[in-house]
Each structure stands twice: as structure tokens, then as C-alpha cells.
Amino acid sequence: MRPTRIEISRRALEQNIAYFRSIAPGKEIIAVVKANAYGHGMELVATAIEPLVDAFGVAFAEEGAALRSIGITKPIIVLMTPTIGDAEEIVEHDLDAVACSLDVVQRLNTVAQRFGRRVRCHLYVDTGMHRDGIAPEEVPAFVEACAQLEQIELVGLCTHFARSDERDCQMTTRQNQRFAVVLDQLLQNGYRFRWIHAANTGAALQHPGTHYSALRIGIGLYGIAPGQTSAPPLRPALRLVTNVTALRSVRAGETVSYGTHYVAQRDTTVATIPIGYGDGFVRMLTGIAECLIGGKRYPIVGAICMDECMVDVGSDPIALGDEVVLIGQQGNQCITAREIADRLGTIPYEVTTLLGNRLERILVP
């Protein structure tokens, strides 16, 4: 069996959830596990944390259906705008849906009548992201139309912030003010919602005025503070680990890997490790990636292959089977997803989400 795997720390997940509860006491936690839990393993993570959270957030109905199939019973909110074609799956698997298309809500109502069920919906207000949602001025008419549908239950009100992970809070403040106006109007008209959620991880960390009744925690659940935010108590939950599978001597002047771009500057030893861009350890890391062996950093050399990488370990006493860490801590050294993202010119979300399904995910203490 290939030794390459992703280790997910149960203790880190628990500590991260506890941290968000500590900064927003009394608020409910919606754990966002879309995109395979940001690469951490949706089913593994959801099963581990279900007793500790109040609901789950997914992107698409099929993700929610997958969670139901493994026995998840907490509310599951489909956060992306559903299509008419999603109605059957949403109703069949008892999923919550965001509401921002009357055609879709009407279709949900029709399907729910057939199943003899009610559908819980969260009114999605577009306060400035301009990706999904209903314009604030259109909310009263939309809510009134939804209220006429017998199988539709409006249980939530939500929005999404565009720049909550930046230190400049002006955009978030403006969006939150628009959201607060809509909420106040609906409350004055007698509407009540269990789920009032605007704060994603960035807003949860920086903007307590956005906490309302629930927080939607995505990247922070996995121990990564987004953008320019900082939260030292968060603990990364993911370790990307493999083992040395081959060692060979390379003379000065000899080349390593495809394209012969890397030329050894001295006699050295090169270790082979079984991970590559086919696993999401992308080829763009060629020439800039490092790994940890025995608590020491080593450069990954030559072009990253689909299934393997090579590591220049010099004359150090590395042995077959030695543990290699590509993301995570080993000894006193740590390679973070943010460090890799900075080298690639991207964000940590992409680094972890790209990790593929060939990689076994294991829950560890």
C-alpha cells in the first residue's frame, strides 16, 4: 500500500470549534464541509465533529445527500443557489436550501407536496458580493411570495461578505449595515428566523457585530486563519505525510527528473517520495517546494512528477521508510498551507482543496 496519506487531527478540530464558541458565546456553529471539507475529507470530518456543531454547510445538494448517506442527522444547508433540477434531492434528503430564486422555491414546494414534507429555506440577501442572492429592495415581495407556499418554511436569513478577511473593514461594515436593515424590516413585519448567519471565518474573527445567531465556519474549522486575519489559538488539522521509498546516489553534474532542469551541484543523495501532481501536489511547486524529514527541511528537486517527487537529502543519514511531511509539523519545524500558498501566489484554501481523492484520509488523535 502506498504510504502517502492525509492525517486529520480530531483534537485540532475540537479545539478550533471550541475557540469559535469562545469568541461568540451562545451562537450556533454551522460547520462548512463543502469541497471535501476543503480537502480534509468531508465524511471523515463531519462524522468526527457532528456532536460538537449545530449544522453543516455544503455547496451542492449531492454533497448533502452524501452526508445523509453516512448517517449525519444535523441540519445540512446547501449554500450555493440551487437549480430547479436540485429540488428532488433537496427534499428527499431533508436538506435546507438558500432561497434566492422564486422559480426554484416554487419547484421545491411542488416536490415537497408530493413527498408530504416541508422544506426549510434560508433567504439569501445580496448585500454587495453580487454573486448570489436577492437585492435588499426585492426582499419584502420575495418573502411574501414564499409565505404563500404551504410547504416552504423560511427558517433562516443570510448574506455573504466579500472582504471580511482583510484588515480594512469598510466593505464588511457596509454590507452588514445593509443586512441589518433587511433583518430589522422583516422582524418588524413579524418574521422570525432561527438561523441568522452572515459571519464567515473572517467576519467571525474580526467583526463581532456580524455574529447574529450563527457563524458559518469554513477554513477556520480546519485551523487556518483567512487572508490578513490572525488567530493564534487555531490549530491546523491537516498533515500531508508520506515515506521515503527509494534512495540513490547522484554525482555532481547529473540531472534529476523530467526535462533535466535540475542539475546536482555536488555529489549527493536523492530520495524518492510517492506523491505528485496527480495527488494535488501541483507541478507549479517545482523548484520551490520543501519537505521535512527527521525534523529538518530539504528541497524537493527536479520537476514534480504525476506520482512522485525527488528530495535532495545531501549526505544526511536518511533511510528507506523515513517519514516525510509536506504539510504540517515534524519536530520543531512546520510547513503550513499558507506558506505553500504564498510561494504559489494563491490562498491556503486552494492548496488543501486541491489534494485529491487518491490520498487516504485518516483521523488521528
Question: Which residues are known to be catalytic?
Answer: 34, 258
* 96's grid cell: 435546507
User: How far apart, in Å, are the Cα atoms of 150 and each of 46, 75, 158, 237, 291?
Assistant: 32, 20, 22, 43, 58
Please give the Cα distance from 199 to 295 (Å, whole number): 38
Phi, psi (degrees; rounded to nearest 5) at 309: -135, 160
Please give the Cα distance from 11 to 17 (Å, whole number): 10
Please give the Cα distance from 126 to 134 (Å, whole number): 5
3-state secondary structure 173-209: HHHHHHHHHHHHHHHHCCCCCCEEEEECHHHHHHCHH
Which residues touch 13 (CB under 8 Å, ≥6 apart)?
45, 48, 49, 52, 221, 222, 237
- Judged on CB neighbours under 10 Å (0-12, 13-18, 19+), 132 is middle
Please give the Cα distance from 195 to 298 (Å, whole number): 48
Please give the Cα distance from 131 to 59 (Å, whole number): 14
Which residues touch 322 (CB under 8 Å, ≥6 apart)?
243, 244, 271, 293, 294
Please give the Cα distance from 5 to 8 (Å, whole number): 10
- Is residue 251 within 8 A of residue 264, CB to CB? The reply is yes
Helix boundaries (H) for the chain = 10-23, 34-38, 42-49, 61-69, 87-92, 102-115, 139-147, 170-188, 201-206, 337-344, 348-353
